[in-house]
Structure 1
Amino acid sequence: MRICLVFLFCVFSIHLYAVEPIKKYIDHPGNSSFKFEALEIKTKDDFALKTWITFPTTENDLHRTLILAYGDSGNMSYYVRQVLEVVNQGYTVVMFDYRGFGESQAFEVSKDTLYYDAFTTDLQAVLDYTKKRFDTPIGIWALSMGTIYAVELYSMDTYDYLIAEGFVSNPKKVVEVVKEHLNRDLLIPDSVDKYELALSKLTLPVLFFAGDRDGLTSPEASYRAKYLNEKNEVVLFKGGHLQGFQALSDEYHGQRYIEAINAFYVSVFP
Protein backbone atom coordinates (compact mmCIF):
# COMPACT_ATOMS: atom_id res chain seq x y z
CA MET A 1 0.00 0.00 0.00
CA ARG A 2 2.78 2.42 0.95
CA ILE A 3 4.54 1.76 -2.37
CA CYS A 4 1.35 2.73 -4.22
CA LEU A 5 1.01 5.93 -2.20
CA VAL A 6 4.61 6.90 -2.85
CA PHE A 7 4.11 6.34 -6.57
CA LEU A 8 0.97 8.49 -6.58
CA PHE A 9 2.81 11.31 -4.83
CA CYS A 10 5.61 10.93 -7.35
CA VAL A 11 3.22 11.20 -10.28
CA PHE A 12 1.50 14.19 -8.65
CA SER A 13 4.89 15.89 -8.35
CA ILE A 14 5.81 15.09 -11.94
CA HIS A 15 2.71 16.84 -13.26
CA LEU A 16 3.93 20.02 -11.60
CA TYR A 17 7.22 19.95 -13.42
CA ALA A 18 6.66 21.91 -16.61
CA VAL A 19 6.15 25.59 -17.27
CA GLU A 20 2.41 26.35 -17.26
CA PRO A 21 1.62 30.04 -16.74
CA ILE A 22 -1.91 31.18 -15.92
CA LYS A 23 -2.95 34.76 -16.63
CA LYS A 24 -6.10 35.08 -14.51
CA TYR A 25 -5.74 35.93 -10.83
CA ILE A 26 -7.79 33.94 -8.32
CA ASP A 27 -6.97 36.05 -5.26
CA HIS A 28 -5.45 39.40 -4.36
CA PRO A 29 -3.86 40.98 -1.26
CA GLY A 30 -6.48 43.71 -1.61
CA ASN A 31 -8.99 41.14 -0.35
CA SER A 32 -7.33 41.45 3.07
CA SER A 33 -7.05 44.28 5.59
CA PHE A 34 -3.28 44.56 5.12
CA LYS A 35 -1.63 47.49 3.40
CA PHE A 36 -0.24 46.56 0.00
CA GLU A 37 1.29 48.13 -3.08
CA ALA A 38 0.90 47.05 -6.69
CA LEU A 39 3.72 48.06 -9.02
CA GLU A 40 5.81 47.00 -12.00
CA ILE A 41 9.51 46.16 -11.85
CA LYS A 42 11.60 46.27 -15.03
CA THR A 43 14.23 43.63 -15.74
CA LYS A 44 17.61 44.38 -17.29
CA ASP A 45 16.26 43.08 -20.61
CA ASP A 46 13.25 45.41 -20.30
CA PHE A 47 10.44 43.08 -19.28
CA ALA A 48 7.78 44.46 -16.94
CA LEU A 49 6.96 42.26 -13.94
CA LYS A 50 3.72 42.65 -12.02
CA THR A 51 4.55 42.91 -8.32
CA TRP A 52 2.58 43.02 -5.07
CA ILE A 53 4.16 44.07 -1.77
CA THR A 54 2.13 43.33 1.36
CA PHE A 55 3.02 44.91 4.70
CA PRO A 56 2.34 43.81 8.29
CA THR A 57 0.62 46.08 10.75
CA THR A 58 2.85 48.58 12.53
CA GLU A 59 2.50 46.84 15.88
CA ASN A 60 3.42 43.42 14.43
CA ASP A 61 6.22 44.53 12.10
CA LEU A 62 9.35 42.42 12.67
CA HIS A 63 11.29 44.33 9.98
CA ARG A 64 11.90 41.13 8.04
CA THR A 65 11.54 40.96 4.26
CA LEU A 66 10.86 37.94 2.07
CA ILE A 67 10.61 37.62 -1.73
CA LEU A 68 8.36 34.80 -2.91
CA ALA A 69 9.77 32.84 -5.88
CA TYR A 70 7.11 30.24 -6.70
CA GLY A 71 7.46 27.30 -9.04
CA ASP A 72 6.54 26.58 -12.63
CA SER A 73 2.77 26.96 -12.86
CA GLY A 74 -0.13 29.24 -11.98
CA ASN A 75 0.76 32.76 -10.87
CA MET A 76 1.42 34.64 -7.65
CA SER A 77 -2.27 34.86 -6.74
CA TYR A 78 -2.27 31.13 -5.96
CA TYR A 79 -0.06 31.87 -2.93
CA VAL A 80 -1.88 34.87 -1.47
CA ARG A 81 -3.44 32.93 1.41
CA GLN A 82 -0.07 31.59 2.55
CA VAL A 83 1.57 34.98 2.13
CA LEU A 84 -1.08 36.69 4.23
CA GLU A 85 -0.42 34.29 7.10
CA VAL A 86 3.30 35.13 6.91
CA VAL A 87 2.53 38.86 6.76
CA ASN A 88 0.22 38.50 9.76
CA GLN A 89 3.22 37.23 11.73
CA GLY A 90 5.25 40.37 11.01
CA TYR A 91 6.94 39.89 7.63
CA THR A 92 6.87 42.15 4.59
CA VAL A 93 6.43 39.90 1.55
CA VAL A 94 7.26 40.83 -2.03
CA MET A 95 5.34 38.75 -4.58
CA PHE A 96 5.86 38.93 -8.33
CA ASP A 97 4.98 37.10 -11.52
CA TYR A 98 7.62 35.83 -13.91
CA ARG A 99 7.40 37.08 -17.49
CA GLY A 100 4.50 35.37 -19.20
CA PHE A 101 2.68 34.72 -15.89
CA GLY A 102 -0.27 36.64 -14.50
CA GLU A 103 -0.23 40.30 -15.54
CA SER A 104 3.52 40.42 -16.18
CA GLN A 105 4.67 41.16 -19.73
CA ALA A 106 3.94 38.46 -22.29
CA PHE A 107 6.61 35.84 -22.93
CA GLU A 108 6.28 32.75 -25.10
CA VAL A 109 6.88 29.52 -23.23
CA SER A 110 6.71 25.84 -24.05
CA LYS A 111 4.91 23.50 -21.68
CA ASP A 112 7.54 20.90 -22.52
CA THR A 113 10.25 23.02 -20.90
CA LEU A 114 11.30 22.45 -17.30
CA TYR A 115 12.41 26.03 -16.66
CA TYR A 116 13.84 29.13 -18.32
CA ASP A 117 16.99 31.08 -17.41
CA ALA A 118 14.94 34.24 -18.01
CA PHE A 119 13.06 33.57 -14.78
CA THR A 120 16.33 33.96 -12.87
CA THR A 121 16.72 37.34 -14.57
CA ASP A 122 13.24 38.21 -13.31
CA LEU A 123 14.09 37.21 -9.75
CA GLN A 124 17.30 39.25 -9.95
CA ALA A 125 15.33 42.38 -10.91
CA VAL A 126 12.98 41.92 -7.97
CA LEU A 127 15.90 41.32 -5.62
CA ASP A 128 17.64 44.48 -6.82
CA TYR A 129 14.49 46.53 -6.23
CA THR A 130 13.89 44.98 -2.80
CA LYS A 131 17.46 45.59 -1.63
CA LYS A 132 17.17 49.26 -2.57
CA ARG A 133 13.71 49.60 -1.01
CA PHE A 134 14.13 47.83 2.35
CA ASP A 135 16.89 48.25 4.93
CA THR A 136 16.56 44.71 6.33
CA PRO A 137 18.11 41.32 5.68
CA ILE A 138 16.53 40.05 2.45
CA GLY A 139 15.40 36.45 2.19
CA ILE A 140 14.01 34.49 -0.75
CA TRP A 141 11.17 32.05 -0.09
CA ALA A 142 11.60 29.65 -3.01
CA LEU A 143 9.21 26.86 -3.95
CA SER A 144 9.96 23.94 -6.28
CA MET A 145 11.44 25.31 -9.54
CA GLY A 146 11.83 28.63 -7.75
CA THR A 147 14.71 27.02 -5.87
CA ILE A 148 16.60 26.70 -9.17
CA TYR A 149 16.29 30.44 -9.78
CA ALA A 150 17.33 31.19 -6.20
CA VAL A 151 20.42 28.99 -6.50
CA GLU A 152 21.41 30.44 -9.87
CA LEU A 153 20.87 33.98 -8.60
CA TYR A 154 23.10 33.53 -5.56
CA SER A 155 26.00 32.58 -7.82
CA MET A 156 25.60 36.02 -9.48
CA ASP A 157 24.25 38.27 -6.74
CA THR A 158 23.96 38.06 -2.97
CA TYR A 159 21.04 37.99 -0.59
CA ASP A 160 20.91 37.09 3.08
CA TYR A 161 19.01 33.84 3.57
CA LEU A 162 16.89 31.29 1.73
CA ILE A 163 13.72 29.42 2.66
CA ALA A 164 13.48 26.46 0.25
CA GLU A 165 10.63 23.98 -0.11
CA GLY A 166 10.71 21.30 -2.79
CA PHE A 167 14.44 21.87 -3.27
CA VAL A 168 15.78 20.90 -6.70
CA SER A 169 19.36 19.65 -6.47
CA ASN A 170 19.59 18.03 -9.92
CA PRO A 171 17.33 19.27 -12.77
CA LYS A 172 18.61 16.52 -15.08
CA LYS A 173 17.36 13.91 -12.62
CA VAL A 174 13.89 15.46 -12.75
CA VAL A 175 13.89 15.11 -16.55
CA GLU A 176 14.96 11.47 -16.26
CA VAL A 177 12.19 10.60 -13.81
CA VAL A 178 9.54 12.33 -15.91
CA LYS A 179 10.72 10.34 -18.93
CA GLU A 180 10.68 7.09 -16.97
CA HIS A 181 7.22 7.45 -15.42
CA LEU A 182 5.31 9.47 -18.02
CA ASN A 183 7.32 8.85 -21.19
CA ARG A 184 7.43 12.61 -21.60
CA ASP A 185 10.47 14.51 -22.84
CA LEU A 186 11.20 17.80 -21.13
CA LEU A 187 13.65 20.41 -22.35
CA ILE A 188 16.14 22.16 -20.11
CA PRO A 189 18.45 25.10 -20.92
CA ASP A 190 22.10 24.49 -21.77
CA SER A 191 23.03 26.34 -18.59
CA VAL A 192 21.96 23.29 -16.57
CA ASP A 193 25.55 22.04 -16.87
CA LYS A 194 26.58 24.96 -14.64
CA TYR A 195 23.95 24.26 -12.00
CA GLU A 196 26.14 21.97 -9.93
CA LEU A 197 28.76 24.73 -9.71
CA ALA A 198 26.10 27.28 -8.73
CA LEU A 199 24.84 24.89 -6.05
CA SER A 200 28.34 24.53 -4.62
CA LYS A 201 28.37 28.31 -4.11
CA LEU A 202 25.14 28.31 -2.12
CA THR A 203 26.89 29.14 1.13
CA LEU A 204 24.24 31.40 2.67
CA PRO A 205 21.97 30.09 5.48
CA VAL A 206 19.13 27.93 4.14
CA LEU A 207 16.04 26.53 5.84
CA PHE A 208 14.79 23.51 3.88
CA PHE A 209 11.24 22.17 4.09
CA ALA A 210 11.05 18.60 2.75
CA GLY A 211 8.08 16.25 2.40
CA ASP A 212 8.68 12.62 3.31
CA ARG A 213 6.48 11.55 0.35
CA ASP A 214 7.78 13.99 -2.25
CA GLY A 215 8.56 11.82 -5.25
CA LEU A 216 10.99 14.15 -7.06
CA THR A 217 12.41 16.73 -4.68
CA SER A 218 13.16 14.17 -2.03
CA PRO A 219 14.35 14.98 1.51
CA GLU A 220 17.72 13.50 0.60
CA ALA A 221 18.35 16.45 -1.74
CA SER A 222 17.83 18.88 1.12
CA TYR A 223 19.97 16.89 3.54
CA ARG A 224 22.81 16.72 1.02
CA ALA A 225 22.76 20.50 0.58
CA LYS A 226 22.58 21.08 4.32
CA TYR A 227 26.35 20.66 4.73
CA LEU A 228 27.05 23.84 2.69
CA ASN A 229 26.50 26.03 5.76
CA GLU A 230 26.63 25.07 9.43
CA LYS A 231 23.52 27.19 10.08
CA ASN A 232 21.41 25.28 7.54
CA GLU A 233 18.41 23.36 8.86
CA VAL A 234 15.97 20.82 7.43
CA VAL A 235 12.34 20.58 8.55
CA LEU A 236 10.87 17.23 7.53
CA PHE A 237 7.09 17.03 7.28
CA LYS A 238 4.61 14.28 6.48
CA GLY A 239 3.35 15.01 2.99
CA GLY A 240 4.10 15.42 -0.67
CA HIS A 241 5.32 18.13 -2.98
CA LEU A 242 4.76 21.66 -1.62
CA GLN A 243 2.41 20.45 1.10
CA GLY A 244 4.50 21.83 3.96
CA PHE A 245 2.31 24.81 4.80
CA GLN A 246 -0.75 22.60 5.11
CA ALA A 247 1.04 19.76 6.89
CA LEU A 248 2.57 22.11 9.46
CA SER A 249 -0.67 23.87 10.34
CA ASP A 250 -2.02 23.92 13.88
CA GLU A 251 -3.95 26.75 15.54
CA TYR A 252 -3.69 28.74 12.31
CA HIS A 253 -2.77 27.87 8.73
CA GLY A 254 0.96 27.21 8.47
CA GLN A 255 1.64 27.86 12.16
CA ARG A 256 4.56 25.46 12.62
CA TYR A 257 5.91 26.38 9.18
CA ILE A 258 6.08 30.06 10.14
CA GLU A 259 7.39 29.25 13.62
CA ALA A 260 10.24 27.31 11.97
CA ILE A 261 11.05 30.34 9.81
CA ASN A 262 11.03 32.57 12.90
CA ALA A 263 13.33 30.26 14.85
CA PHE A 264 15.67 29.96 11.89
CA TYR A 265 15.79 33.75 11.44
CA VAL A 266 16.68 34.30 15.09
CA SER A 267 19.44 31.69 14.88
CA VAL A 268 20.93 33.37 11.80
CA PHE A 269 20.46 37.00 12.91
CA PRO A 270 20.61 36.85 16.73
Structure 2
Amino acid sequence: MLRLALLGLLLFQVFAASALRPVAAWWARPDTLGLRYQQLKITTADHVKLVAWLIEPAAQAPDQYTTVVVAGGDAYNMSGSIYTAWALAEAGYRTLLFDYRGFGHSQAFAIDPQRLYYEEFTLDLRAALAEARRQAPRDRVGILGLSMGGILGSEVAVRARPDFLITEGYPGNLPGIVAYQQAAGKTVTLPAEAAAYPRVAAQVNCPWLLIAGTQDKNTPLADSAAVVRAARRRQHRQLLTVDCGHLGAQEKLTEKFFAEGYARAIRRFLSGGKAAG
Protein backbone atom coordinates (compact mmCIF):
# COMPACT_ATOMS: atom_id res chain seq x y z
CA MET A 1 0.00 0.00 0.00
CA LEU A 2 2.75 2.46 0.94
CA ARG A 3 4.64 1.58 -2.24
CA LEU A 4 1.54 2.42 -4.31
CA ALA A 5 1.10 5.68 -2.40
CA LEU A 6 4.72 6.58 -3.11
CA LEU A 7 4.35 5.95 -6.83
CA GLY A 8 1.16 7.97 -6.89
CA LEU A 9 2.85 10.93 -5.22
CA LEU A 10 5.80 10.79 -7.60
CA LEU A 11 3.53 10.71 -10.63
CA PHE A 12 1.47 13.59 -9.23
CA GLN A 13 4.58 15.72 -8.79
CA VAL A 14 5.96 14.88 -12.23
CA PHE A 15 2.79 15.53 -14.20
CA ALA A 16 1.82 18.62 -12.21
CA ALA A 17 5.26 20.19 -12.66
CA SER A 18 5.31 23.82 -13.79
CA ALA A 19 1.86 24.58 -12.39
CA LEU A 20 0.94 25.54 -8.84
CA ARG A 21 -1.32 22.81 -7.49
CA PRO A 22 -1.37 23.00 -3.68
CA VAL A 23 -3.33 20.40 -1.72
CA ALA A 24 -4.55 21.04 1.82
CA ALA A 25 -4.73 17.49 3.17
CA TRP A 26 -1.63 15.56 4.19
CA TRP A 27 -1.74 12.00 2.85
CA ALA A 28 0.29 10.88 5.89
CA ARG A 29 2.52 12.11 8.68
CA PRO A 30 6.16 11.11 9.25
CA ASP A 31 5.25 8.54 11.89
CA THR A 32 3.34 6.67 9.17
CA LEU A 33 6.81 5.49 8.14
CA GLY A 34 8.02 5.16 11.71
CA LEU A 35 9.95 8.42 11.64
CA ARG A 36 10.65 10.34 14.85
CA TYR A 37 9.55 13.96 14.44
CA GLN A 38 8.09 17.05 16.00
CA GLN A 39 5.60 19.41 14.41
CA LEU A 40 6.68 23.05 14.42
CA LYS A 41 5.04 26.41 13.84
CA ILE A 42 7.15 28.96 11.97
CA THR A 43 6.48 32.67 11.44
CA THR A 44 7.95 34.36 8.38
CA ALA A 45 9.39 37.87 8.20
CA ASP A 46 6.06 39.11 6.84
CA HIS A 47 4.15 37.40 9.70
CA VAL A 48 2.76 34.41 7.79
CA LYS A 49 2.26 31.24 9.85
CA LEU A 50 3.75 28.03 8.45
CA VAL A 51 3.64 24.43 9.60
CA ALA A 52 6.76 22.23 9.48
CA TRP A 53 8.02 18.79 10.52
CA LEU A 54 11.49 18.32 11.96
CA ILE A 55 12.40 14.67 11.36
CA GLU A 56 15.22 13.00 13.26
CA PRO A 57 17.81 10.55 11.91
CA ALA A 58 16.86 6.89 12.17
CA ALA A 59 17.81 5.39 15.53
CA GLN A 60 20.20 2.87 13.97
CA ALA A 61 21.92 5.42 11.69
CA PRO A 62 25.02 7.40 12.72
CA ASP A 63 24.03 11.04 13.20
CA GLN A 64 25.61 13.11 10.42
CA TYR A 65 24.97 16.34 12.37
CA THR A 66 23.46 17.74 9.20
CA THR A 67 19.97 19.14 8.68
CA VAL A 68 18.46 19.19 5.19
CA VAL A 69 15.66 21.72 4.65
CA VAL A 70 13.52 20.38 1.80
CA ALA A 71 12.02 23.05 -0.47
CA GLY A 72 9.38 21.11 -2.33
CA GLY A 73 7.97 21.50 -5.80
CA ASP A 74 4.95 23.35 -7.06
CA ALA A 75 2.33 20.71 -6.31
CA TYR A 76 0.77 18.83 -3.39
CA ASN A 77 2.30 19.70 0.05
CA MET A 78 5.14 18.68 2.36
CA SER A 79 3.69 15.20 2.94
CA GLY A 80 4.78 14.41 -0.62
CA SER A 81 8.39 14.54 0.64
CA ILE A 82 7.97 12.05 3.50
CA TYR A 83 9.77 9.30 1.57
CA THR A 84 12.62 11.70 0.80
CA ALA A 85 12.90 12.41 4.52
CA TRP A 86 12.80 8.67 5.26
CA ALA A 87 15.72 7.99 2.89
CA LEU A 88 17.74 10.82 4.43
CA ALA A 89 16.90 9.69 7.97
CA GLU A 90 18.14 6.19 7.15
CA ALA A 91 21.43 7.80 6.06
CA GLY A 92 21.71 9.74 9.34
CA TYR A 93 20.39 13.14 8.27
CA ARG A 94 17.93 15.37 10.08
CA THR A 95 15.26 16.80 7.75
CA LEU A 96 12.95 19.78 7.98
CA LEU A 97 9.86 19.68 5.76
CA PHE A 98 7.51 22.65 5.57
CA ASP A 99 4.40 23.79 3.76
CA TYR A 100 4.63 26.99 1.74
CA ARG A 101 1.93 29.57 2.40
CA GLY A 102 -1.24 28.39 0.69
CA PHE A 103 -0.06 24.75 0.84
CA GLY A 104 -1.00 22.01 3.30
CA HIS A 105 -1.78 23.34 6.78
CA SER A 106 0.11 26.63 6.47
CA GLN A 107 -1.65 29.99 6.40
CA ALA A 108 -3.95 30.60 3.45
CA PHE A 109 -2.57 32.51 0.46
CA ALA A 110 -4.29 33.34 -2.83
CA ILE A 111 -2.65 31.32 -5.59
CA ASP A 112 -3.08 31.61 -9.35
CA PRO A 113 -2.62 28.06 -10.72
CA GLN A 114 -1.05 29.48 -13.88
CA ARG A 115 1.78 31.14 -11.94
CA LEU A 116 5.10 29.30 -12.02
CA TYR A 117 6.01 30.44 -8.51
CA TYR A 118 5.57 33.30 -6.06
CA GLU A 119 8.51 35.30 -4.73
CA GLU A 120 6.83 35.17 -1.31
CA PHE A 121 7.79 31.49 -1.14
CA THR A 122 11.41 32.59 -0.66
CA LEU A 123 10.33 34.18 2.63
CA ASP A 124 8.90 30.81 3.65
CA LEU A 125 12.12 28.97 2.84
CA ARG A 126 14.23 31.60 4.55
CA ALA A 127 12.15 31.21 7.72
CA ALA A 128 12.37 27.41 7.53
CA LEU A 129 16.16 27.61 7.17
CA ALA A 130 16.41 29.91 10.19
CA GLU A 131 14.23 27.55 12.23
CA ALA A 132 16.39 24.57 11.28
CA ARG A 133 19.46 26.45 12.47
CA ARG A 134 17.71 27.30 15.73
CA GLN A 135 16.58 23.73 16.32
CA ALA A 136 19.97 22.14 15.54
CA PRO A 137 22.71 24.73 16.25
CA ARG A 138 25.47 22.09 16.05
CA ASP A 139 24.45 20.91 12.59
CA ARG A 140 25.47 21.90 9.13
CA VAL A 141 22.23 23.20 7.63
CA GLY A 142 21.52 23.28 3.92
CA ILE A 143 18.74 23.17 1.33
CA LEU A 144 17.42 20.46 -0.97
CA GLY A 145 15.37 22.25 -3.64
CA LEU A 146 13.09 20.11 -5.81
CA SER A 147 12.00 21.68 -9.11
CA MET A 148 10.37 24.99 -8.06
CA GLY A 149 12.26 24.58 -4.80
CA GLY A 150 15.47 24.99 -6.82
CA ILE A 151 14.40 28.50 -7.81
CA LEU A 152 13.72 29.40 -4.20
CA GLY A 153 16.78 27.55 -2.89
CA SER A 154 19.20 29.38 -5.15
CA GLU A 155 17.65 32.76 -4.33
CA VAL A 156 17.75 32.13 -0.58
CA ALA A 157 21.30 30.76 -0.76
CA VAL A 158 22.65 34.09 -2.02
CA ARG A 159 22.02 35.97 1.24
CA ALA A 160 21.09 33.37 3.84
CA ARG A 161 24.31 31.42 3.12
CA PRO A 162 23.32 27.83 3.88
CA ASP A 163 26.16 25.35 4.33
CA PHE A 164 25.19 23.65 1.07
CA LEU A 165 22.62 23.66 -1.71
CA ILE A 166 21.31 20.59 -3.54
CA THR A 167 18.84 20.93 -6.40
CA GLU A 168 17.01 18.36 -8.46
CA GLY A 169 15.29 19.51 -11.63
CA TYR A 170 16.85 22.98 -11.39
CA PRO A 171 14.82 25.56 -13.39
CA GLY A 172 17.66 27.57 -14.88
CA ASN A 173 15.78 29.04 -17.83
CA LEU A 174 12.42 30.39 -16.71
CA PRO A 175 11.37 31.83 -20.12
CA GLY A 176 12.25 28.44 -21.61
CA ILE A 177 9.90 26.72 -19.16
CA VAL A 178 7.12 29.15 -20.06
CA ALA A 179 7.70 28.51 -23.77
CA TYR A 180 7.73 24.72 -23.25
CA GLN A 181 4.42 24.87 -21.41
CA GLN A 182 2.91 27.15 -24.05
CA ALA A 183 3.91 24.67 -26.74
CA ALA A 184 2.00 22.05 -24.75
CA GLY A 185 -1.07 24.28 -24.71
CA LYS A 186 -0.65 25.56 -21.13
CA THR A 187 -0.41 29.14 -19.94
CA VAL A 188 2.29 29.84 -17.33
CA THR A 189 3.15 33.26 -15.94
CA LEU A 190 6.15 34.57 -14.02
CA PRO A 191 6.35 37.03 -11.13
CA ALA A 192 7.94 40.41 -11.81
CA GLU A 193 10.97 39.38 -9.74
CA ALA A 194 11.81 36.70 -12.32
CA ALA A 195 13.54 39.39 -14.40
CA ALA A 196 16.46 39.31 -11.95
CA TYR A 197 16.63 35.52 -11.74
CA PRO A 198 19.27 34.95 -14.47
CA ARG A 199 21.81 36.67 -12.20
CA VAL A 200 21.11 34.52 -9.14
CA ALA A 201 23.13 31.38 -9.88
CA ALA A 202 26.40 33.29 -10.25
CA GLN A 203 25.96 34.67 -6.71
CA VAL A 204 25.53 31.29 -4.97
CA ASN A 205 28.81 30.62 -3.18
CA CYS A 206 28.00 27.60 -1.00
CA PRO A 207 28.79 24.08 -2.28
CA TRP A 208 26.10 23.17 -4.82
CA LEU A 209 25.12 19.73 -6.14
CA LEU A 210 22.83 19.79 -9.18
CA ILE A 211 20.96 16.53 -9.85
CA ALA A 212 19.54 16.44 -13.37
CA GLY A 213 17.58 13.93 -15.42
CA THR A 214 18.82 13.13 -18.90
CA GLN A 215 15.20 12.85 -20.09
CA ASP A 216 13.86 15.88 -18.24
CA LYS A 217 11.93 18.10 -20.65
CA ASN A 218 10.57 20.48 -18.01
CA THR A 219 13.95 21.52 -16.60
CA PRO A 220 16.52 20.22 -19.10
CA LEU A 221 19.88 18.80 -18.12
CA ALA A 222 21.53 21.63 -20.09
CA ASP A 223 20.29 24.18 -17.53
CA SER A 224 22.06 22.45 -14.63
CA ALA A 225 25.16 21.76 -16.72
CA ALA A 226 25.43 25.47 -17.60
CA VAL A 227 25.47 26.39 -13.89
CA VAL A 228 28.37 24.01 -13.27
CA ARG A 229 30.34 25.21 -16.30
CA ALA A 230 29.94 28.83 -15.22
CA ALA A 231 31.36 28.21 -11.74
CA ARG A 232 34.29 30.35 -10.71
CA ARG A 233 37.39 28.84 -9.13
CA ARG A 234 36.12 29.02 -5.55
CA GLN A 235 32.59 27.92 -6.32
CA HIS A 236 32.35 24.20 -5.54
CA ARG A 237 29.72 22.75 -7.87
CA GLN A 238 28.98 19.26 -9.10
CA LEU A 239 26.57 17.79 -11.63
CA LEU A 240 25.01 14.36 -11.08
CA THR A 241 23.17 13.10 -14.16
CA VAL A 242 20.53 10.41 -13.79
CA ASP A 243 18.74 8.52 -16.56
CA CYS A 244 15.25 9.75 -15.69
CA GLY A 245 12.67 12.43 -16.32
CA HIS A 246 11.59 15.35 -14.16
CA LEU A 247 12.03 14.61 -10.43
CA GLY A 248 12.66 10.95 -11.16
CA ALA A 249 16.14 10.62 -9.61
CA GLN A 250 15.01 9.33 -6.22
CA GLU A 251 12.99 6.50 -7.74
CA LYS A 252 15.72 5.74 -10.29
CA LEU A 253 18.40 5.58 -7.58
CA THR A 254 16.35 3.20 -5.47
CA GLU A 255 18.28 0.04 -4.67
CA LYS A 256 17.30 -2.27 -1.82
CA PHE A 257 15.61 0.70 -0.17
CA PHE A 258 13.95 3.80 -1.61
CA ALA A 259 16.43 6.47 -2.80
CA GLU A 260 19.34 4.61 -1.21
CA GLY A 261 21.69 5.62 -4.05
CA TYR A 262 20.33 9.17 -3.95
CA ALA A 263 21.19 9.53 -0.25
CA ARG A 264 24.61 7.98 -0.86
CA ALA A 265 25.37 10.54 -3.60
CA ILE A 266 24.43 13.34 -1.22
CA ARG A 267 26.65 11.88 1.48
CA ARG A 268 29.62 11.73 -0.91
CA PHE A 269 29.05 15.31 -1.97
CA LEU A 270 28.76 16.60 1.60
CA SER A 271 31.90 14.68 2.52
CA GLY A 272 33.83 16.55 -0.15
CA GLY A 273 33.93 13.73 -2.67
CA LYS A 274 32.30 13.13 -6.04
CA ALA A 275 28.57 12.52 -5.87
CA ALA A 276 28.81 10.12 -8.80
CA GLY A 277 31.70 8.16 -7.27
Question: Is TM-score (shorter-chain normalized) higher than 0.5?
Answer: yes
Deviations 1:23-52 (A, max 9, x none): 011121122333210011000111111100
1:210 maps onto 2:212 in alignment: yes
Deviations 1:139-193 (A, max 9, x none): 10110000000111122321111111000112121111111222x3221111111
In structure 2, what is the Cα distance between the partners aligned to 1:27 and 1:129? 23
For the aligned residues, what is the CA RMSD?
1.6
Instruction: State the one-letter code of the partner of 1:151.
Output: S
Asked if the contact 2:154–2:165 (Cα under 8 Å) also holds between the matched residues in 1, the reply is no
Aligned to 2:240, which of 219, 235, 240? 235
In structure 2, what is the Cα distance between the partners aligned to 1:40 and 1:231? 34
Unpaired stretches in structure 1, ≥5 consecutive residues: 1-11
Change (3 A) 1:108 1:156: same
In structure 2, what is the Cα distance between the partners aligned to 1:177 and 1:13? 15
Asked if the contact 1:100–1:108 (Cα under 8 Å) also holds between the matched residues in 2, the reply is yes
In structure 1, what is the Cα distance between the partners aligned to 2:72 and 2:123? 14
Asked if the contact 2:17–2:218 (Cα under 8 Å) also holds between the matched residues in 1, the reply is no
Asked if the contact 2:41–2:51 (Cα under 8 Å) also holds between the matched residues in 1, the reply is yes
Aligned to 2:149, which of 142, 146, 149? 146
In structure 1, what is the Cα distance between the partners aligned to 2:53 and 2:70? 10
TM normalised by structure 2 equals 0.88
Q: Secondary structure at the match of 2:200?
A: helix
1:42 maps onto 2:43 in alignment: yes
TM normalised by structure 1 equals 0.90
Q: Residue in 2 aligned with 1:9?
A: none
Which aligned pairs between 1:157-196 and structure 2 lie closer than 5 A? 157-182=160-185, 184-196=186-198
Instruction: State the one-letter code of the partner of 1:86.
Output: L
Asked if the contact 1:50–1:96 (Cα under 8 Å) also holds between the matched residues in 2, the reply is yes
Asked if the contact 1:211–1:239 (Cα under 8 Å) also holds between the matched residues in 2, the reply is yes
How much has 1:219 moved relative to structure 2? 1.1
Aligned to 1:91, which of 86, 90, 93? 93
How much has 1:13 moved relative to structure 2? 5.7
Unpaired stretches in structure 2, ≥5 consecutive residues: 1-12
Change (3 A) 1:57 1:216: closer
How much has 1:97 moved relative to structure 2? 0.3
